[in-house]
Amino acid sequence: MIKAADALLITAGAGMGVDSGLPDFRGAQGFWQAYPVIAKLGLSFEEMANPAWFEENPALAWAFYGHRLNLYRKTMPHSGFNWLWEIGAGKRGGYFVFTSNVDGHFQKAGFAPERMVECHGSIHHFQCTASCTDEIWDAEGETVNIEESTFRALEPLPRCRNCSALARPNILMFGDGSWLDNRTQAQHRRFAEWLNGLARSSANLAVVELGAGSAIPTVRHTSERVRQSLEGTLIRINPREDSVPSGQIGLALGAVEGIRRISDCAGRGS
């Protein structure tokens, strides 16, 4: 199926990053293991990932997001990213990525920024907490220093380039009414154009989904909807939730192992 495909859609959730060594926030235990100070405060991931903290406790909010920013910057994406890129780049119709991950690891692994939907935004882009304009800027060059023992971000915290109000990551949080979506909307438009092109040329689409859970099902729904509308095939790689609609393929494997196997089938290294 991978060999016969004219185009590759890669969809990914949190499970994609686990094999790079990134923490898994599903379930309180995994989250609190990664952030012991937040465990002491008794806050769940859903409670911590709330824009209200930037107003109520900016040093804590920026400790949480700054720590993640620094972690994602210093972590190398696993080899599975490269193997997927090789498959996708070799297809006549190319590839597209649809991910709920905000870590920027597809771009870091060499995927083209214009072939990507980051449906929950990106930690590598900032916006103003006061929404003075709809500008979203690249956070390259912005640094966040954190006092590890107290888990507080140190001044100076990132500021808006226009009005100097506190900045925040351009990530869709829980209960988030002020997330600026124009960057992500532009990604959605390019994705729709790519899909329209595939439909016009009756391309044979393969969808490879990695580590996307059912708790926040945006990625799973996208894989299934696109596969169905283009009459393609879905390979769902997920160690715990590998059930698929009839006729599709579910592999109960972690991301790297699953990608390695389909990449072997597709003739990697031959």
Give 164 or 229: the residue with its C-beta nearer to Zn ion.
Answer: 164
Q: Does 119 bind Zn ion (CB under 5 A)?
A: no
Q: Does 89 bind Zn ion (CB under 5 A)?
A: no
| 2's tokens | 């991978």
Q: Choose among 141, 86, 74: nearest CA to 110.
A: 86
Q: What residues does 262 pair with on adjacent strands?
A: none
Q: Which helix (H) or strand (E) holds 128?
A: strand 121-128
Q: Does 55 bind Zn ion (CB under 5 A)?
A: no
Q: Does 34 bind Zn ion (CB under 5 A)?
A: no
Give 29 or 162: the residue with its C-beta nearer to Zn ion.
Answer: 162
Q: Does 128 bind Zn ion (CB under 5 A)?
A: yes
137-138 β-sheet, strand order: 137-138, 121-128, 167-171
| Nearest approach, Cβ of residue 162 and Zn ion (Å) | 5
Q: Does 196 bind Zn ion (CB under 5 A)?
A: no
| Nearest approach, Cβ of residue 61 and Zn ion (Å) | 16
| 205's tokens | 């689409």
Q: Interacting stretch for Zn ion, rule CB under 5 A, among 23-31, 132-140, 211-219, 233-241?
A: 132-140
117 in helix, strand or coil?
Answer: strand
What is the rounded CA–CA span in Å between residue 209 and residue 55?
37
Of 41, 76, 163, 265, which lies in the binding site for Zn ion, with binding defined by CB under 5 A?
Answer: 163
Q: Choose among 214, 242, 211, 223: nearest CA to 103.
A: 211
Of 38, 117, 153, 160, which lies in the binding site for Zn ion, with binding defined by CB under 5 A?
Answer: 160
| Nearest approach, Cβ of residue 1 and Zn ion (Å) | 48
What is the rounded CA–CA span in Å between residue 167 and residue 161?
8
| Nearest approach, Cβ of residue 132 and Zn ion (Å) | 3
Q: Interacting stretch for Zn ion, rule CB under 5 A, among 38-46, 95-103, 104-112, 122-130?
A: 122-130
| Nearest approach, Cβ of residue 114 and Zn ion (Å) | 27
Q: Choose among 48, 97, 54: nearest CA to 212.
A: 97
| Nearest approach, Cβ of residue 113 and Zn ion (Å) | 24
What is the rounded CA–CA span in Å between residue 207 and residue 186?
22
Give 89 or 132: the residue with its C-beta nearer to Zn ion.
Answer: 132
| Nearest approach, Cβ of residue 148 and Zn ion (Å) | 29
Site size toward Zn ion, by CB under 5 A: 7
What is the rounded CA–CA span in Å between residue 78 and residue 86?
14
Measured at the alpha carbon of residue 71, what is the angle toward residues 109 and 38, in degrees to the nearest 5? 145
Query: Using omega within 30 degrees of 0 as the cis cutoff, is the peptide bond preceding 158 cis?
Result: no
| Nearest approach, Cβ of residue 178 and Zn ion (Å) | 11
Give 18 or 157: the residue with its C-beta nearer to Zn ion.
Answer: 157
Of 34, 39, 59, 132, which lies in the binding site for Zn ion, with binding defined by CB under 5 A?
Answer: 132
Give 162 or 201: the residue with its C-beta nearer to Zn ion.
Answer: 162
| 232's tokens | 């393609």
| 157's tokens | 């915290």
* Residue ranges binding Zn ion (CB under 5 A): 128, 130, 132, 160, 162-163, 165
